[in-house]
Structure 1
């Protein structure tokens, strides 16, 4: 298993796993499948190269992408963990934790000691994963951008030291 940041050459792998994730868990992300499917090849290339705000990390089993996570700095200058997803067959293997650790390392390398994310508390598996990774719930709620009827709660992780 290889976990690494994407490069422009990874755009097809990024597109494939992101669209698969959006089909598998359509109400877990801030973008819809339809919106992401409409991105041009050039937009996917920019995303993979990290020139479109978010920096993606993919997990590969051989050549096949099996997990994804990303970090993006918000308008409030907060480092956000986004796009977290692992193929069902790889869930429970520790892969999700490794992806989160990769995003934490990237955030810290850029000088960020705090990472935030949004999760629907009803998504118990995801919430528990984040709790095990040292994230804590904050008393902050907002509607999910892609599905405004769903409220998500902010969680935060702070680096030790």
Structure 2
């Protein structure tokens, strides 16, 4: 499994895997498939270049099988977002590698904490994040694309 940050030239791969994620688990993300699919090539290129959010891809034999992103929600809150592994690659170590990449980047940035949001009923994701030492906070927020679903914040200490 190869994990690496995306570059502008990776935009088609990022778009491919992100749209696959949105089709597979539409209620897990803050954007809908229809919205993301309509985004311009220039916007996908900017995403891949990490202009606002940095993305990493997991590759198995040269083919992307997962992704994760991270960016500042505000100056004090760096968040892990868009985590997804294709079903056939789950339990392959791809998710562990992607989270490790985001954690390492948060440490490189000198941050105190890394945050994420997850629906507590998504037991598989919750167990995964807890295994990676994320802890729940008493913070709740509706998912933008599905406001009837509440996500709870989790925090990992970089120190």
User: Which band: TM-score by shorter chain?
Assistant: over 0.9
Deviations 1:51-110 (A, max 9, x none): 1x1100001112211010010101252010000000111111222111101001111111
Deviations 1:21-67 (A, max 9, x none): 0000000011111110011001000000011x110000111221101
> CA–CA distance in 2 between the matches of 1:76 and 1:9?
28
- Whether 1:69 aligns to 2:68 is yes
> CA–CA distance in 1 between the matches of 2:73 and 2:93?
28
> CA–CA distance in 2 between the matches of 1:76 and 1:133?
24
Deviations 1:95-128 (A, max 9, x none): 2111101001111111212001000001000011
> CA–CA distance in 2 between the matches of 1:76 and 1:109?
16
> CA–CA distance in 1 between the matches of 2:65 and 2:145?
23
Where do 5+ consecutive residues of structure 2 fail to align? none
Partner SS for 1:156: strand
Matched with 1:23 is 23
Partner SS for 1:39: coil
Matched with 2:94 is 95
Aligned residues, how many?
A: 159
Matched with 1:158 is 157
- With normalisation by structure 2, the TM-score equals 0.97
Where do 5+ consecutive residues of structure 1 fail to align? none
> CA–CA distance in 2 between the matches of 1:113 and 1:101?
16
The runs of 4+ residues in structure 1 deviating greater than 4 Å are none
> CA–CA distance in 2 between the matches of 1:76 and 1:11?
26
> CA–CA distance in 2 between the matches of 1:29 and 1:2?
24
> CA–CA distance in 2 between the matches of 1:67 and 1:93?
11
Is the 2:106–2:158 contact (alpha carbons within 8 Å) kept by the matching residues of 1? no
Is the 2:137–2:154 contact (alpha carbons within 8 Å) kept by the matching residues of 1? yes
Deviations 1:4-36 (A, max 9, x none): 000001000000000000000000011111110
Q: How does 1:2-21 map to 2 (within 5 A)?
A: 2-21=2-21
